[in-house]
Amino acid sequence: MNIGVVVFPGSNCDHDCQHVFRDVLGQDVTMVWHKESSLAGLDAVILPGGFSYGDYLRTGAIARFSPVMQAVKRFAADGGLVLGICNGFQILLEAGLLPGAMLRNKSLHFICRETYVRVEHASTPFTNTCKPGQVLKIPIAHADGNYYTDPVTLASLQANAQVVFRYCTADGVVTPESCPNGALDNIAGIRNAAGNVLGLMPHPERCAETMMGSDDGRAIFLSMIMSCERKPSAGVH
């Protein structure tokens, strides 16, 4: 499987994603400079975490104008798997590939710590190696992860099984206290209506090896690999 990791100016989890897919999971990884206009030959695309364009103006607001985002939109429209992690999630929101917006964390601080998230739907291309309701321990690191959307959109996300991950306790109970940032409905990750684009605030690439304290994040990447292996390459763009 050939995974593309997009490098925006200011991306800083690009190497971490490359490391997990290439060195831990043995996949091919292509680093995609943000000025590229084609994603040909790739099976899936990651928009990594970081501070694209310094998060100046608003998180993800400038990166969405990078030339590569046109290609990402086409790639997604053709059914290719797109995973946005943290700043990547914020870019997907700004680009309109996912609904909603990120507010500043409720504490107003940047927060870096372990969180627990519950897999709400295990039938997605990003969670098919998980059990429904499985709890994953995955760290967060962001200042703007307080997911928000209007009530109508929220209702439709819930009705269409688009809320894929919710913050919870270690035992899998969704409580206000287990939500680190104030996100609406404890939302940690959502997918688009078609199901092939996922935005996720926690960083699964930071917990894909036991020596990092947890390898729960691996399940998400293994699911993506499984999904891609099941279907022929989407890379004709």
Partner 1 sequence: MPPITKDLIAQHNLTGEEYQKIIDILGREPNLTELGMFSVMWSEHCSYKSSSVHLKKLPTTGPRVVQGPGENAGAIDIGDGLCVVFKMESHNHPSFIEPYQGAATGVGGILRDIFTMGARPIALLDSLRFGELHSAKNRHLMKGVVSGIAGYGNCMGVPTVGGEIVFSDIYALNPLVNVFCLGVAHTDKIFRGTAAGVGNPVIYCGSKTGRDGIHGATMASDSFDDKSEQKRPTVQVGDPFTEKLLLEACLELMERDLLVGIQDMGAAGLTSSSCEMASRAGNGIELDLTVVPRREPEMTPYEIMLSESQERMLMVAKAGMEDECLAICRKWDLDVAVVGRVTGDGMLRVSDQGKIVAEIPAKALADDGPRYERPYQPPSYQDMLTNLNYDVIPDVKDANAALLALLESPTIASKRWVYEQYDHMVRTNTMVRPGSDAAVVRIKGTNKAVAMTVDCNSRYCLLHPYEGARLAVAEAARNLVCSGAVPIGLTDCLNFGNPERPDIMWQFVMAIEGMKDACEHFQIPIVSGNVSFYNETNGLSIYPTPMLGMVGLIENSERTMTQWFKAEGDDVFLLGSSREDLGGTEYLKVVHAREQGSPPYLSLEKEKALHECVLSLIHDGLLQSAHDCSEGGLAATLAECCMSGTEHTFGAVIRLTRGRLRKDAVLFGESQSRVVISATPVHRQAILDRATRYGVPVEVIGAISGTRLVMYVGDEQSTEKVIDQPVAMLHDRWALSLERTLSGA
Which residues are the active-site residues? 86, 203, 205
114 binds partner 1 (CB under 8 A): yes
Give the footprint of partner 1 on residues 57-86 (CB under 8 A).
none
- Pick from 61, 141, 161, 174 the residue near partner 1 by CB under 8 A: 141
- The tokens for 167 are 């913050």
**Stretch of residues binding partner 1 (CB under 8 A), selected from 37-45, 72-80, 123-131, 208-216:** 208-216
Buried b (16+ CB within 10 A) or exposed e, 164-173: bbbbbeeebe
- The tokens for 26 are 């043995």
With a CB cutoff of 8 Å and minimum separation 6, the contacts of 117 are 135, 136, 138, 165, 166, 167, 168, 188, 189, 202
**Stretch of residues binding partner 1 (CB under 8 A), selected from 65-73, 139-147, 148-156, 192-200:** 139-147
Min dist. Cβ of residue 18 to partner 1 (A): 10
Please compute, for residue 202, the number of CA atoms within 13 A of its CA located in the half-sphere on the CB side.
Answer: 31
Indicate the SS3 state at residue 84.
Answer: strand
Interface characters, 145-184, with partner 1 (x: CB under 8 A): ----------------------------------------
DSSP state of 131: P
User: Where on the chain is the footprint of partner 1 (CB under 8 A)?
Assistant: 9-10, 12-13, 15-16, 19-20, 23, 49-51, 53-56, 109-114, 139, 141, 143, 203, 205-206, 208-209, 211-213
